[in-house]
Amino acid sequence: MLSRGFKENLKTNFIGKKAIFVDETDSTNALAKREKSSPDGTVFVAKKQTNGRGRRGRVWESEDEKSLYMSILLKPSIDAEKISALTLVVGLAVCRAMDLYAKTEIKWPNDIVINKKKLSGIMCETAFAVEKPEYVVCGIGVNVNNSDFPDAISKTAASLKTETGKIFDIAEIAAKILNEFEPLYKEYLKNGLSNIIEDYKKRCATLSKEVSVVFDNEKINAYALDITEDGGLLVKTSDGEKILNSGEASVRGIYGYV
Ligand code: BTN
């Protein structure tokens, strides 16, 4: 049962204390939004999704029961402009949790990559009240026990199984991610990224690389210099330095996915 490994491994104070497990839903992000009156930190986990969504309106393959599909409902009382950095915090939490299973890196802002292929995707969606977020839903997908992927993503996607040959407990992984996320989230609410950014940068595969950036529907080549304190990517382009915001820009390596 999905919830057993979760409860045995969860060590948090409030994130995931209320957790809703379903066999199937359209999208755990959509489910969390429908249940937005649930307490801060409520987690939604599905065995499969019939309409899994990725960033930029993409589909997130979710029809088997071999991956983790999880969303966290958060009610932070912070200013709206701080919210874009949260997506990096979630990425760091997933990357730290993966240390238990395999070596992974972060592709800015929050794809988790293994052997240069995508292992996990994160999509944070915010509903705004006046100037403050009303709630944020952070959706996390991790490819765990998949043996293969559809042709369209087979060259760029990986699972823990394809890279290690082992099978893992999906519910345990969910709990381990939340165990990493809670202290990082508390730190982010207090001090933003300032005490977190060094570890993020150490794990970031995008830095010091030539990248191809899609920004304002235009594709440009750039060199990734640094991550800013609010989670932007500082790049050098032929027009000078620019800061890319995690919500607006998409970045790929010039010689492959990372
Ligand atoms: C990406 O494009 O990289 C983000 C993918 C996010 C997928 C997760 S799976 C759980 C949650 N529910 C969704 O429909 N999407 C997110």
Token reading at 43: 């987690």
Query: Could you give the 3-state DSSP secondary structure of residue 258?
Result: coil
**CB distance 121 to ligand 1 below 6 Å:** yes
Q: Which atom of ligand 1 is nearest to the CA of 111?
A: 3
Amino acid identity of residue 128, one-letter, is: F
Residue given tokens 């987690």 in the structure block: 43
User: What is the Å distance from ligand 1's center to 140 Cα?
Assistant: 5
What pTM value is reported for the model? 0.95
For ligand 1, pick from 49, 51, 60, 250 the residue to mutate: most ligand atoms within 8 Å of CB. 60
pLDDT tens digits for the chain (258 residues)?
567 899 999 999 999 999 999 999 999 999 999 999 999 999 999 999 999 999 988 999 888 899 999 999 999 999 888 999 999 999 999 999 999 999 999 999 999 999 999 999 999 999 998 878 899 999 999 999 999 999 999 999 999 999 999 999 999 999 999 999 999 999 999 999 999 999 999 999 999 999 998 877 788 899 999 999 999 999 999 999 999 988 777 787 765 676
> CA triplet 132, 79, 106: central angle to 5 degrees?
110
User: What is the Å distance from ligand 1's center to 241 Cα?
Assistant: 31
DSSP-derived secondary structure letter, 175 = H
- Residues 24/49, Cβ–Cβ less than 8 Å: yes
Cα separation, 198 vs 172, in Å, equals: 27
Q: Which atom of ligand 1 is nearest to the CA of 141?
A: 9
